[in-house]
Structure 1
Amino acid sequence: MSTTLSSRKRKRGLSDAKQSDSLSIELSSLSDTQTGPVLASFPYLTLPKNTPFNVSVRGEEEGKEFVRCSSTIAGETDAIEFSGSANDGSDGAGSRYFLALHRPGSSKLILQPTPVYLISRQVKALKNFKPTEPSSSEHFQARSMLGKVFGTKKAKAAIDAQERNKIDVSAMEDVVGVLQDRIDEGTENLPTQEKLQDSANAARLIPAYNADAERPEDIYPLHNIIPEPEWAALDSLLSKLKNAADDRSRVRLLPNARSDWLRQHLMLAYSSPKPKRKIAKMLIYASVMFAFRGVAGRNVPERSALLERLSPAPEVVVDGLLARFTETPRGSTKARMTSENETNLLTHLFSLCLKVDDYATDTALIASDLKMSPTRVNDLFKSLGVTRLFNVVMTDQLMFVEIASGCTIGKLSSQDLKRLGLPDSVGQEKRAILKAPLTFPKPRLRRRA
């Protein structure tokens, strides 16, 4: 490609006759892949003319057009290192630059495409230098000086008051040993963190749990909910369910036949030719717990009457529920169920429901069966997490409290719906979900009263 430029100039010493000069423009004949001259923009700094520079191209881009490659340039003197890059991932998009080369006496102007490098510098002596940050005391002292000079009257008064109230640590060096001895004497009888943890766990109204469980099924072991003797006694009732003619007959064999949650799960358990014995036995025990709460209430009937109303539940199961979820006041022979006993019974029941539901339970359905508010039921499910004690840090204005909970109330994800074999419409309903390993929320801030 060539272009002819014509110009008319009045030359000194010549006549007024117009003279025409022509100059042709051509592109460089160098190969596109060959490294040619380049443009570099340096910081305000004068370099020695003999400073060498090297241009390098990424290995994966060798063979491409040079001006479109991601390339770097580097050079150094005795005191300073220089480096820069061109087309950093842009593939040459945007403005393009050309160098115009003209030899004296030639009528050609050659244009050479070239990349542009923005050069940065690094002083070698400062390469490994790391600035030191001021200490807290230096920072405070600097702020105080600025406050005294430029602060308001109120700010200056606050600084003066803070300096007056500053504790002189050196004055306490002589009494530090006495203070430490008194602290040791006053704290030697305090319980350790482990003892506090054990005490808190024993007082919680939930089944015994494994805080280090890696799977949901290991958090609440089955026999921490159903003792082994009671579990073995359920086999007699299990055989009756197996020989029942239909689902309605099976439901009638349970102590509690009014629970929609129980009816749905019993029908689902026996919908397959080989129902799972473990699920069926857990449903039987859950039915006894449902019925026990409804019959016992605040006034627990006599044992004989209770056995009759919970029939056909095995006697060992009824005796176990009486022993664990009721208490007999001093000076009385009649058992009663306190609010703490009822809460303990419900959390054991809900932990069993979670096992049957593969750790995603419909709390609204259970609340309807128990004639309880959904909020109360959700709160009890939330209490089925693992709570650990933490050090509480107090300041003048804030108190930091950390709470741990393993069971959450929320909507099921698409993966959970697929795992449980539930339709997508169920994804809009909230359920109690127990997951492991247990995760703990970040500390929350609460204003002190």
Structure 2
Amino acid sequence: MEAQKLMKRKRNNTVEVSFEEDPTISEFNFQGPFLASFHGIPPPQNVEFNTYQSSNGRKLMIAGENSEVTFASKEYEADQVSEYMIAIYDKTTNIVTFRPAPVIDIAPIPKRLKLESNETKIQDDYLVAKTALDKEFGSKKMRSRILSKERGKIAASQVQEIDKIVSNIEETYKAIPTEEDIKIINEGNRPIPPHNINAVKAADVYKLDDIVSPMEFEAISVQQILRAKTDSKRLELLPFKSNFINDRLLPSLGTKEVNKKRIKMLLYINYLMAFRSAREHLNERDVMLEKLKNPPDIILKNLYERYTETSFLKTGGKQRSKMTSKCEDKLLCYMFALCLILEVFRVDPEKLIEDLTITPKKAFSIFRTLGCKVEGASKQEREALGLNASQARHMKRAVLTIPLVFPEPPKKRFNKQNKQ
């Protein structure tokens, strides 16, 4: 009975909300709303902000003040601001309206600094006027003293400039990151899967669950491929034609006991290849589904979340997906990490290079980013292929080595013009 009452109460508290686009807003609106960034210095509650528009109607600025401080932004044009969407909820109609909102940087300016500047100017003006009178009407001794002072005098403006330079140097020095800070920043900027930097064996560096979530891995079906009667039928089920996958999938299907985990890993690598290949159709979901041969919903959803960036059109707020170069590098890193796990941490990248139409330099750069070293073919590999050392000298392997070492980020180079 109590449970029924609780269920009824929950149903009564349910609110139906509808969403709509504000038809009056088609582009950036100088009247707001705005999102303000105060860089860690929140304004007092008694500061009221106003927007100011230039006479030609193309620029705006935001400012507000109280008795102690003035907050002001620089002048912005409509195409200079970051585009965001905010949701405005009307309780009376249960309607959520989306409107574009730019982000405006606002900086505080203490009024005390302005007052000090004005007082200093008044004192300087008085001294200049007095010195001019003494030069013109003062005694010979007074004029001689003034000239002597001027010869050894450093102008107040010069002292202020020196103070500013010293202050700027001190602030710049404080802002310089330490080696530890740089290491942390570089670690976070690498487009690689989560990893164990202290791993004592290669198998502990990258985990399958960090590359493909357990829910995704469970959703990958191998039944159709297992039921297919011929190799050609099996390969037709793959969304992307890949010699790297074919050379490993078909032998795996021909064993007495099929390793389904290995087959699922190969299928997921193939999904990654197909997703990258079809990136021109990211905003056509129906086309993407067809290109990837109708993968499970969770697979496609997470491919978008991991390997694309989302933006919103200014008009209508429509969502757009894009695979940037950084996103593509991340996809390749995750794909190659999966290949390392699949190949027991020693990969021959030749077929991958052909399948993905990338240069060997690019491929080995990705493997090095993952912590691999590039080595020649081993004696066992040469013998399996019937090659001697001379014949196999161009064969390269990407090998995940322990202790894990990542390449240092490239240092900036300056030409002679920059040094001048």
Q: Normalization by structure 1: what TM-score?
A: 0.48
Q: From the superposition, tell whether residues 270 and 217 of structure 1 become closer, same or farther in structure 2 (CA, over 3 Å).
A: same
In the alignment, what sits opposite 1:217?
203
Partners in 2 of 1:430 and 1:325 — Cα distance?
28
Corresponding residue for residue 82 of structure 2: none
Aligned to 1:391: none
Query: Is the 2:191–2:326 Cα contact (8 Å) retained in structure 1?
Result: yes
Report whether the alignment pairs 1:304 with 2:290.
no
Q: Is contact 1:254–1:312 with CA below 8 Å preserved after alignment?
A: no
Aligned to 2:156: none
Q: Which residue of 2 aligns with 1:322?
A: 304
For residue 261 of structure 2, the aligned residue among 275, 278, 283 is: 278
Superposed, 1:42-81 pairs within 5 Å as: none
Match of 1:262? Answer: 245
Aligned counterparts of 1:374 and 1:264: Cα–Cα separation in 2: 20
For 2:219 and 2:406, the matched residues in 1 are separated by 38
Q: What amino acid maps onto 2:235 in structure 1?
A: V
* One-letter amino acid of the counterpart of residue 252, structure 2: A
1: CA distance between counterparts of 2:333 and 2:224? 28
* 1:425 match: secondary structure: coil
In the aligned structure 2, how far is the partner of 1:201 from the partner of 1:265?
Answer: 33
Distance of aligned partners of 1:445 and 1:208 in 2 relative to their CA distance in 1, 3 Å threshold: closer
Contact 2:339 2:347 in 1 (8 A): yes
Tell me the distance in 1 between the aligned counterparts of 2:207 and 2:182.
23
Paired residue for 1:96? none
Q: How much has 1:381 moved relative to structure 2? A: 1.5
Q: Structure 1's 409 and 250: CA in aligned 2 closer, same or farther, altered over 3 A?
A: same
Which residues of 2 match residues 169-188 of structure 1 at below 5 A?
A: none
Choose the corresponding residue for 2:237, options 250, 253, 258: 253
Query: Matched residue of 1:214: which SS?
Result: coil
Distance 2:195 2:262 in 1: 20
Aligned equivalent of 2:63: none
Cα 1:320–1:344 shift into 2, 3 Å = same
State the match for 2:375 in structure 1. 410
Q: 2:213, 2:411 → 1: CA distance?
A: 41
The corresponding residue for 1:27 is none
Q: 1:368 aligns with which of 335, 350, 354?
A: 354
Aligned to 2:273: 290
Q: 1:204 aligned to 183, 187, 190, which one?
A: 190
CA contact (8 A) 2:346 2:399 kept: yes
CA contact (8 A) 2:345 2:399 kept: yes
Deviations 1:67-100 (A, max 9, x none): xxxxxxxxxxxxxxxxxxxxxxxxxxxxxxxxxx
Return the offset for 1:408.
Answer: 1.6
2:398 corresponds in structure 1 to 432
In structure 2, the CA distance between the partners of 1:343 and 1:314, relative to structure 1 (3 Å rule), is same
- 1:81-131 CA-to-partner distances (Å, cap 9, x unmatched) read xxxxxxxxxxxxxxxxxxxxxxxxxxxxxxxxxxxxxxxxxxxxxxxxxxx
Give unmatched runs, 5+ long, in structure 2: 1-168, 416-420
Q: How far apart, CA to CA, are the structure 1 residues paired with 2:311 and 2:252? A: 41
Residue aligned with 2:293, SS: coil
Report if aligned partners of 2:312, 2:320 keep a CA contact under 8 Å in 1: no
| Contact 2:368–2:406 (Cα < 8 Å) also in 1 | no
CA contact (8 A) 2:307 2:331 kept: yes
Structure 1 contact 238–281 (Cα < 8 Å) conserved: yes
- Residue by residue over 1:374-406, the C-alpha shift from the partner in whole angstroms, topping out at 9 and shown as x without a partner, is 222122112111xxxxxxxxxxxxxxxxxxxxx
CA 1:200–1:440 in structure 2 vs 1: closer, same or farther (change >3 Å)? closer
Residue type at the aligned position of 1:436: I
| SS of 1:212 mapped into structure 2 | coil
The reply on whether 1:380 has 2:366 as its aligned counterpart is yes
1:438 and 1:372 mapped to 2: Cα distance? 25
Shift of 1:244: 2.1
Structure 2 Cα separation of the partners of residues 262 and 366 of structure 1: 9
What pairs up with 1:344-355 in 2 under 5 angstroms?
344-355=330-341
Report the structure number with the largest CA radius of gyration: 1
Residue 315 of structure 1 aligns to which amino acid in structure 2?
A: D
Closer, same or farther in 2 for the Cα pair 1:191/1:414, shift >3 Å? Answer: same
CA distance in 2, matches of 1:291, 1:426: 37
* Cα-to-partner distance string for 1:355-388 (whole Å, 9 max, x where unaligned): 2222222222111111122222122112111xxx
C-alpha RMSD of the superposition? 3.3
TM-score, with length taken from structure 2: 0.51
> Which residue does the alignment assign to 2:225?
241
Distance 1:409 1:426, change over 3 A: farther
Contact 1:216 1:436 in 2 (8 A): yes
User: Residues 371 and 426 from structure 1, CA distance in 2 versus in 1: closer, same or farther, beyond 3 angstroms?
Assistant: farther
Shift of 1:448: 8.9
Given that 1:253 and 1:312 are in contact with CA atoms closer than 8 Å, whether structure 2 keeps it comes out as: no
Q: Using the alignment, how far apart are the partners of 1:424 and 1:441 within structure 2?
A: 34
| 1:134-145 matches, cutoff 5 A | none
Q: 1:247 touches 1:267 (CA, 8 Å); kept in 2? A: yes
Unaligned segments of structure 1, at least 5 residues = 1-182, 386-406
Match of 1:129 in 2: none
1:409/1:265 CA distance change after superposition, 3 Å: same
Q: Would you say the 8 A contact 2:370–2:406 is kept in 1? A: no
Alignment partners' CA distance in 2, 1:191 and 1:290:
38
Q: How does 1:112-191 map to 2 (within 5 A)?
A: none
